[in-house]
Amino acid sequence: MSTRSIVTTTAAAMLLTGAAAAVAAPAQAFPAGWWTEKTFVCTATDRNTGAALPEVTVQAADQVGAAYYALPQFGQNADTLNVQCYEQA
């Protein structure tokens, strides 16, 4: 076997092993149950006026996602809001 074919065979084996590891890695990157959607209650306060808006309930995987999904429900002036979301017990 020539040196070239040994190098090519070794490189191919490394690529296949790396590809298998790359496919398996995402499944191990997140803990079990992380992506399950939970119910969050979000509150918002207008930064300019201090007025509190009514609570909004959304389904999301985490608090950041909950705030993202809640913003459109608070209305058009979402840029001026302070939003906080808490997991519903």
Q: Taking Cα atoms as reference points, which of 51, 56, 53 lies closest to residue 73?
A: 56
3-state class (DSSP) for residue 13 = helix
The secondary element (H helix, E strand) that includes residue 55 is strand 52-60
pTM above 0.95, yes or no: no
For 65, the enclosing helix (H) or strand (E) is helix 63-70
The tens digit of pLDDT for each residue in 28-79 reads 666 766 678 899 999 999 999 999 999 999 999 999 999 999 999 998 888 8
- The sign one gets for the Cα dihedral 49, 54, 58, 61 is positive
Q: What is the mean pLDDT of residues 8-32?
A: 57
SS3 23: helix
